[in-house]
Amino acid sequence: MGNDNSTEMTIHLKIWKQDGPGKKGEFISHEAKGLSSEMSFLEMLDVVNEDLVRLNQRPIEFDHDCREGICGTCSMVINGEAHGPDKEITTCQLHMRKFKDGDTITVEPFRAKAFPIIRDLVVDRSSFDRVIESGGYVSVNTGGAQDANSLPINKPDSDLAFEAATCIGCGACVASCKNASASLFVSAKLAHLSFLPQGKIEQDARTLAMVRQMDTEGFGACTNTEACEAACPKGISVENISRMNRQFLKASIKER
Ligand code: FES
């Protein structure tokens, strides 16, 4: 242990193991010994996988990339909470000091019809990509990059656009919602464009297309439980969902 604050821990894990899509999965038990309280949760899983390899067992598959809360790939449910017990962090930012020596920790994948399990803790979130492909961009030709400050945007709008743009598309909103709704994700992607002049032009068509694609992908409806906001590692506000619903209603009326 290289850090004075670290303590050695033993953790009892119950981890979801599933050999492939549509296969029957189950929780396997594993006792992880010699852990440091200063390890990140993913480093703890790395240690578990080294143990499993030594025991001639297949390692547990889990997604990760940046390991610094940016990419949104390290999605898993820990003790029943998407990204675990800490607020406004991703799984890779969770540390073992959040748990106690001897704790039992349950780890399972995000569960939603629109996020089919690929293997163990890895789910297919390409449904989010298809929602973005359906309209989450600006397609009008805005010319070359303008000088900074040549396009006036008021501070409250730029702040709201920026806050919405911090969504990393991890899917915690879906995993925490009893309806597996993607409303927080879709509304954040709509808001970050709709608050800016470049994005306003296609706002109606974009809202109609993305909301319809969300439904096509099999995400559930929003029933305002706000579990999504509580689980979101970036603290995205459910006010974006109200804005999306208003925009969708207006655009639907205009479409007729
Ligand atoms: S690994 Fe990128 S957000 Fe966790």
Q: What is the pLDDT of residue 4?
A: 67
With a 6 Å cutoff on the Cβ, whether 64 touches ligand 1 is: yes
Question: What token pair was written down for 74?
Answer: 């390290």
What is the torsional sign of CA 117, 123, 124, 129? positive
Supply the pTM of this predicted model. Answer: 0.94
Residue whose C-alpha is closest to residue 188's, from 233, 155, 223? 233
90 ligand 1 Cβ < 6 A? yes
Q: What number is the average pLDDT over the span 39-67?
A: 97
Chain-wide mean pLDDT for the chain? 95
The whole-number pLDDT of residue 151 equals 82
Residue where the block lists tokens 């949104």: 72
With bands split at pLDDT 50, 70 and 90, how would you rate the model's confidence at 1?
Answer: very low
Ligand 1 pocket, residue 73 CB under 6 Å: yes
* Percent of the chain topping pLDDT 70: 98
Q: Which domains does the chain have, with CATH numbers?
A: 8-117 (3.10.20.30), 125-138+153-255 (1.10.1060.10)
Is residue 225 very low, low, confident or very high in pLDDT (cuts 50, 70, 90)?
very high
Residue nearest to atom 3 of ligand 1 (CA): 69
DSSP characters for 172-233? Answer: HHHHH-TT-B-HHHHHHHHHHHHTSHHHHTTHHHHHHHHHHHHHHTT-B---S--HHHHH-T
Q: What is the CA radius of gyration of the chain?
A: 21
pLDDT digits (tens, 9 = 90+) for 112-148: 999 999 999 999 999 999 999 999 999 988 788 788 7
CA dihedral 98, 100, 104, 110 (to 10 degrees): 0
Strands 8-17 and 26-36: antiparallel
